[in-house]
A = this chain, B = another copy of it.
Amino acid sequence: MTQVRFGIIGIGNMGSAHATSITGGQVPELQLVAVADRRASRRQWAAETLPADVTVFSEGKELIASGLVDAVLIAVPHYQHPELAEDAFAHGLHVLSEKPAGVYTKQVREENAAAAKSGLTFAMMFNQRTNSVYRKMHDIVQGGEFGAIMRVNWIITDWFRTQAYYDSGDWRGTWNGEGGGVLLNQCPHQLDLLQWICGMPSEIQAFAQNGHWHDIEVEDDVTAYLKYPNGATGVFVTSTGDYPGTNRFEVTMERGKIVCDGGRLTLFRLDENIRDVCQHSEQAFARPVVHAELVETDGSNPQHVGILRNFGQHLLTGAPLIARGEEGINGLTVSNMIHLSSWLGRPVTAPIDEDLFLAELNERRAASHAKKAGSDVAIDLTDTY
């Protein structure tokens, strides 16, 4: 096999971008042979835009059952990700899923089990993991040279959205349409990077405010306090109401501190472990030498195309996946813990009570003003990057 026969389910904003990346020759590992979308307008776009030998389906399940493809990319509304992935596994297809893996971890846990049972490849479109800056942070924090994490602080408030944005689809900003707000739509990448770089928190107390800046059902302003198993703590702040926002991610470790601010990476390196200095120094006001440096990276940031190529290379040559599908549950777990803590007004410890979360979510879905998830409008303009 020199190319993977590839299908894309959902050709809204993201799915269509992936399709044209492939047909435009940027992803030689994949051959686009089929797409699917419930909306006639998107199928018309496909017929007019994509090569004539790309088959167009109206239902993802038809594409999956067609026998035309070896693998699918799922780029439909959040709630449908696990269902379609499981259907694909049942038909012997490999799966690349857009983020988030799903809306609630119980659903994604079943998806992961189906993937494991199938023995097929399951990957996540966590394209931010291809960013050289975050890869470098991951290597620095997880590499061990700087010791244990002591504190994490990520202010990621550069997600400004207008009311017009939320009004652009009646599923937007609703419990039934999206399953959440800034946590589910904008932040899945950051929540994945947070756990990829810093590990999973063991307890969260969060303050998610619904409709704080917009007329929407779901949260558009979130502050979360995180506790880690080793005693470290962290803060994660996000919003779609701030402008100009901030993207500043800081990790303090025993032998140094790394700060990513506006894409610039600064490392503060210590010669000693500060915990040793704290405990054993005879000086009350010890000020060990700090070596500050701008960190150079390899500069590579192939984003979505990088994930698509990696997925193809994995299938063709066994190259390691950048983001295994089974890891999608981690960032979603953080997201679900933030929601549940905010809803209950108390700390939530790991493992999250998945049944309680789902019951609370379903209460909100029952009262939701959105059309039924998966309705025709539900896959227009999925914005991500």
Binding site for B on A (CB under 8 A): 150-151, 153, 155, 157, 160-165, 168, 205, 207, 209, 212-214, 221, 223, 225, 231, 233, 235, 237, 239, 241-246, 248, 250, 252, 257, 259, 268, 270, 274-275, 277-288, 290, 381, 383
Q: In the bound complex, do residue B243 and residue A281 qualify as a contact, i.e. CB atoms below 8 Å apart?
A: no
Q: Once bound together, how far apart are the Cα atoms of A32 and B374, in whole Å?
A: 79
Give chain B residues whose Cβ lies under 8 Å from the Cβ of A221. 233
**Option from B248, B274, B290, B383 in Cβ contact (under 8 Å) with A285:** B383
Given A155-B153, A162-B278, A221-B233, A288–B257 Cβ distance below 8 Å?
Answer: no
Give chain B residues whose Cβ lies under 8 Å from the Cβ of A290. 243-244
**How many copies of this chain sit in the oligomeric assembly?**
2
Q: Once bound together, how far apart are the Cα atoms of A333 and B209, in whole Å?
A: 25
Nearest to A285 among chain B residues (CB) is: B165
Q: In the bound complex, do residue B160 and residue A286 qualify as a contact, i.e. CB atoms below 8 Å apart?
A: yes
Give chain B residues whose Cβ lies under 8 Å from the Cβ of A235. 223, 235, 237
* Beyond A162-B286, A246-B259, 8 extra complex contacts between A and B, CB < 8 Å: A150-B241, A162-B283, A163-B278, A163-B281, A213-B278, A221-B233, A244-B270, A248-B248
Q: In the bound complex, do residue B283 and residue A153 qualify as a contact, i.e. CB atoms below 8 Å apart?
A: no
Give chain B residues whose Cβ lies under 8 Å from the Cβ of A270. 243-244
Q: Once bound together, how far apart are the Cα atoms of A20 and B282, in whole Å?
A: 28
Q: In the bound complex, do residue A150 and residue B274 qualify as a contact, i.e. CB atoms below 8 Å apart?
A: no
